[in-house]
Every structure is written in C-alpha cells, then in structure tokens.
Amino acid sequence: MHLGFAPHRLWPTTPADLADVLDTARLIENLGFDHVIAGHHLLAGGLGLSPDPLILLSAVAGATSRVRVASSILIAPLYDPLVAAHQSATLDSLSDGRFILGVGTGWDRAEFAAAGAPFDQRGKHTDSSLAAMRALWRGESEHSLAMPPRTPDGPPIWIGGSSDAALRRALRFGTAWHGSGAPETVAATGARIAQLAEGTDRDPATLALTAVAMLLPPGFELSGEFPGRLLGGDHPSRESVVDELGRLSEAGVSACSLWAPVDAAALPEVLAWAAEIAAEIS
C-alpha cells in the first residue's frame, strides 16, 4: 500500500502555517512517500485556510521530481469543465504525468451560493463535467484543448463519496474510489462497488480503493479541533497504527493519504515517524 501526505497541517489557520509547504513537499518526496495531496475549499471557515489545490500542486510538482501530486479533493461542480480539463491537462503535462485528479461533489452550501452554483444539481453537474473532460482529453469533443494532457486519456481520476451515486460515478469515470473510514467500512464499500458493477461493462477489480486518514502519532499534541476518527483509534500507538494500515491493505486499499492535525512546526517530525511506519509495512 502506498502512503501519501498533505504538505501542511490539517486546517491551517494563518498564512504562517503554509510558509514551509514546498520544503515539506520536498521532505515528503525525500522520505519516500508516494504522493502529496491538497484539499479544496473556496471560503474560509471552520476548516481554516485552503490554498487552491491546482495552483498548490503545480508549485509542488515544480519543486519535486518523483512524488505524485493529487487533489483530495477538487469540488468538480464549482468548475467549468473546459477550464478544469485545460488546467488538469496542463498540470499533467508539466508534472510529467504525476498528477492525479481527485474529485467530489462538495457539501458546503455556502460555497455553492457564493460561487453561484446550484447545490442540488452538484451530482448531475459532476457527471456531465467528467464526461466532457474525458472527451476533451481524448480528442473526442467538438472543441480542441489548447494544452493536451501528457497521459493518454488524461490524468488518473479518484472519485470521492460514499453514496451509491458516487460509487456508480467511480465505476463510470474513476481510476479509483477515494474515501475514508475504518477497514471494515472500506471493505463494505468495496463489496457494494462490486454489486453496483453487475450488469455494467466495468470490472470492479479494475477500480482501485484509496483512503484518507487522520494521523496523530503517540507523543504529539493535537492542534485545533478534534478531526474525527484517528488512524489507529482514539489513543493511537505505533502498534495500532501499523495494525490498521495492515487491515486497510487487506480491505483492498492501494493508497492511503494522510493528514496530520498537529502544529506546523511538528509536521516534519510526524513525517519522519510516518516514514518509519511506511518502511515497516512495505
């Protein structure tokens, strides 16, 4: 199972929390992690600051040479599909094919209202956008992109969401499903994907399972609000983290993306701790 990391603390509250983001991305690469992730929100709020993911990942791609860069996740219905296809193709090309487009439908009504996008149509808009983007990348649209992707058919797509509609979307458009939860929950999602694939032309075995988790290693202080379920349980230990990663792998997870709810200054130490765990489970 591949491990990736966010290049800044969970829910940064000040620009200072983002000052070392490129140095941290280089550290993520040097420690042998598989990918760097970036989230997406347009408005400041309870989740703190959120840099634009495509701009952040472009900077990360320019500062690194091997590590993959993934949006986790881009709120697809807030983008015009032509613009998103062009930006994604550009990043795919300039990163030498290291870009992964993780997308979801979003959940914050305030963001949709501020952007003038219909919240209740976000699922339908996401489906139509992904279809349009794929056609543009493949050269099957009436329009021709000003920048084609480096990767044939465009960058890999990770589809977020746990509803049946999201899982069907993953089967239709995705390289992988991108979710979260305990190993048992992820395994149940994999089984549901297999059920929904019946009667379609998609082999569910070709849809990878990826997960997002919150990592607070033992001995580190929580910064900010409690983020919900922690990898390894409410009081994680080295053993419980290793055990849960092993069970996620057994559930079919091929890549796990980690966020650390610690102060920005502690993030390098968290990365070093996680790198030892990654070596242990590899």
The pLDDT value given to residue 224:
87
**Cα 264 to Cα 11: distance, rounded to the nearest angstrom:** 10
Q: What is the pLDDT of residue 282?
A: 77
Torsion, Cα 259 181 39 54, to 10 degrees, reads 110
CA atoms within 13 A on the CB side of 30: 10
How far apart (Å, rounded) are the C-alpha atoms in residues 118 and 182?
A: 32
* pLDDT score recorded for residue 233: 95
pLDDT at 45: 78
Q: Which of 158, 41, 40, 134 is nearest to 82 (CA)?
A: 134
List the Cα angle 144/150/153 in 5-degree steps: 65
For residue 92, pLDDT beyond 90 = yes
Average pLDDT, the chain: 96
Residue 140 token pair? 């099957």
> What does the angle CA 17 – CA 63 – CA 77 come to, to the nearest 5 degrees?
70
Strands (E), the chain: 2-5, 35-38, 68-71, 74-75, 99-104, 157-160, 176-180, 208-214, 253-259
The residue ranges of every structural domain in the chain are 2-281
Going by pLDDT thresholds of 50, 70 and 90, the confidence category of residue 88 is very high
At residue 281, the pLDDT reads 85
pLDDT tens figures, 62-74: 999 999 999 999 9
pLDDT in tens, 219-245: 999 998 899 999 999 999 999 999 999
pLDDT for position 1: 93
pLDDT for residue 4 is more than 80 = yes
Does position 197 have pLDDT exceeding 80, yes or no?
Answer: yes
Query: Would you identify the CATH topology of the domain 2-281?
Result: TIM Barrel (3.20.20)
Render pLDDT for 11-44 as a digit per residue (tens, 0 to 9): 998 999 999 999 999 999 999 999 999 999 999 8
Cα–Cα distance for residue pair 253/60, rounded to 1 Å = 25
With CA atoms as reference, report the closest residue to 6 among 62, 58, 71.
71
Q: How confident is the model at residue 46 (pLDDT cuts 50, 70, 90)?
A: confident
215 close to 258: Cβ distance less than 8 angstroms: yes
Query: Is 80 exceeded by the pLDDT of residue 97?
Result: yes
- Sign of the alpha-carbon dihedral angle for 208, 254, 192, 180: negative
| 249-266 per-position pLDDT tens digit | 999 999 999 999 999 999
End-to-end CA distance of the chain: 7
Share of the chain above pLDDT 70, in %: 100
**Is residue 179's pLDDT more than 80?**
yes
